[in-house]
Structure 1
Amino acid sequence: MDSSAPHIHGASTYDRDLRDWGGHLEPLDGRSQNRGRLLWKGDNGLPEAGLWVCTPGSWRLTLPRDEMCHFLAGRAVYRPSEGEPIEVGAGTLVHFPEGWSGTVEVFETIRSVYMLR
């Protein structure tokens, strides 16, 4: 975005120019698809911030870096390899530390603003 402060108005319903980000690297059921809008990416690729939309399905996940997600819509559960499940929905804010691993199951299409560092 060509702006002094890149922004998206109405992020909770924004669909205008979301790009197809494909499926997940380790799908469990193969249904889930990703779309999104990159808001900002630093010169070295980090930090990165944007809007992510993901349809129902499940997959294995290992995060290579810290990720902060503010969920705006939908319903899902993140089940870590060790520890308690994290149920997410509209209004949930989660920091996933680098190396977090487990499974994700999306029940209703989720929408999240995120930042990677």
Structure 2
Amino acid sequence: MSKALGFDLSTVEPEEGAPAPERVLEGDPRFLTWNLEDAGNGLYAGVWQSTPGTWRVSYDEWEYFSILEGHSILTEEGGQPVHLRAGDRMIIRPGFQGIWQVVETTRKDYVVRL
């Protein structure tokens, strides 16, 4: 088994999802997630995509992501909106609470650590 893993989405079937209905504030956002790394040790990596909509988010995990395409706005509770577009990167720490708004279908790659 190789110790290097490319982000080849053709090697995995995407999981479909959506935010919990009680978290949705606007629209009908739908997710596709290509989870490429799940070694069972609490570390995940892959690609996530969402259609437009707005919902409340609450992070228990640490996440790094890079926006690949689209436009989203992430607003931390009590903070200012941050517009995210292709090339933008961010780290979200455990305890983050706020609003995620997908303005244009957004795709990001991510690394999550539980």
Query: TM-score w.r.t. structure 1 length?
Result: 0.85
State whether residues 76 and 89 of structure 1, in contact with CA within 8 Å, keep that contact through their aligned partners in structure 2: yes
Give structure 1 stretches of 5+ with no counterpart.
Answer: none
Q: 1:18 to 1:72 in 2, by over 3 A?
A: farther
Counting only pairs closer than 5 Å after superposition, residues 59-98 of structure 1 correspond to structure 2 as 59-98=55-94
Secondary structure of the equivalent of 1:32? coil
How big is each residue's C-alpha offset from its partner over 1:60-117, in whole Å with a ceiling of 9 and x where there is no partner?
A: 0000111111001000101111222111000000101111011111110101000111
- Looking at structure 1, the residues matched to 39 and 112 of structure 2 have their Cα atoms a distance apart, in angstroms, of 10
Offset of 1:27 from its aligned partner?
A: 1.3
Q: Which has the higher strand share?
A: 2
Picking from 4, 18, 23, the partner of 1:23 is 18
Instruction: Please report the TM-score for the alignment, with normalisation by the length of structure 2.
Output: 0.87
Query: Structure 2 unaligned runs (5+)?
Result: none
Distance in 1 between residues matched to 2:27 and 2:73, nearest whole Å: 17
Q: Paired residue for 1:101, among 74, 91, 97?
A: 97
SS of the counterpart of 2:6?
A: coil
What is the aligned-residue RMSD (CA, Å)? 1.9
Matched length = 111
Q: 2:40 aligns with which of 32, 43, 50?
A: 43
Separation (CA, whole Å) in 2 of partners of 1:16 and 1:29: 33
CA displacement at 1:16 relative to structure 2: 7.9
Over 6 Å off, 4+ runs: none
Deviations 1:25-70 (A, max 9, x none): 21112410000211111323x1111100111001000001111110
Letter in 2 for 1:20: E
Amino acid at match of 2:17: G
Which of 31, 34, 42 is residue 34 of structure 1 equivalent to? 31
Is residue 67–residue 89 contact of structure 2 (8 Å, CA) maintained in 1? yes
